[in-house]
Structure 1
Amino acid sequence: MDVNRVKQIISSPADIKVSYQGTSVWIDKLEADGKTATVHLRGPLEERSQVSIDELVEE
């Protein structure tokens, strides 16, 4: 996913489905480096991880 699409998804009020390595995630924020984002799993677990935006896929 490119950096502009990550920004659009973060600012959108819509529920846009995104996955990371086959798992559905929420994007919390784009990191300052512009190459990674903080995400957490959809559902009751809210463990956050930093991942490469290249590995995020819009469903």
Structure 2
Amino acid sequence: MKVQRAQQILNATHKIEVDHNGVAVWIDSVNEEQSTAKVHAEDCPADMKTVSVEELQEVQ
């Protein structure tokens, strides 16, 4: 995924499904300068991690 798309998903008013390594995640924030995003698994909000936005996949 590209940084711009991750930012669009973060700002969307409806849910857009995103996976990280096969796990459904929510995007909490996007760092455009570093091309990273803070994400957490949908079923575990406390398990937040920073990943490259290129590792994120939009589920179609």
Q: Map 1:16-31; keep pairs closer than 5 Å.
A: 16-31=16-31
Deviates more, 1:8-17 or 1:28-37: 28-37
User: Residue 42 of structure 1 corresponds to which residue in structure 2?
Assistant: 42
Deviation at 1:27, TM superposition (A): 0.3
Higher strand share: 2
- 1:36–1:53 contact (8 Å) kept in structure 2: yes
Query: What's the Cα RMSD here?
Result: 1.1
Mark the runs of 5 or more structure 1 residues left unpaired by the alignment. Answer: none
Aligned: 1:15 with 2:6: no
Residue in structure 2 matched with residue 57 of structure 1 by the alignment? 57
Corresponding letter in the other structure for 2:50 = Q
Q: How many residues align?
A: 58
Partners of 1:35 and 1:52 within 8 A in 2 = yes
> Structure 2: which 5+ residue stretches go unaligned?
none
Deviations 1:2-52 (A, max 9, x none): 011011000001110000000000000002534110000002x21100001
Change (3 A) 1:58 1:32: closer
Displaced runs of 4 or more, over 3 A: none
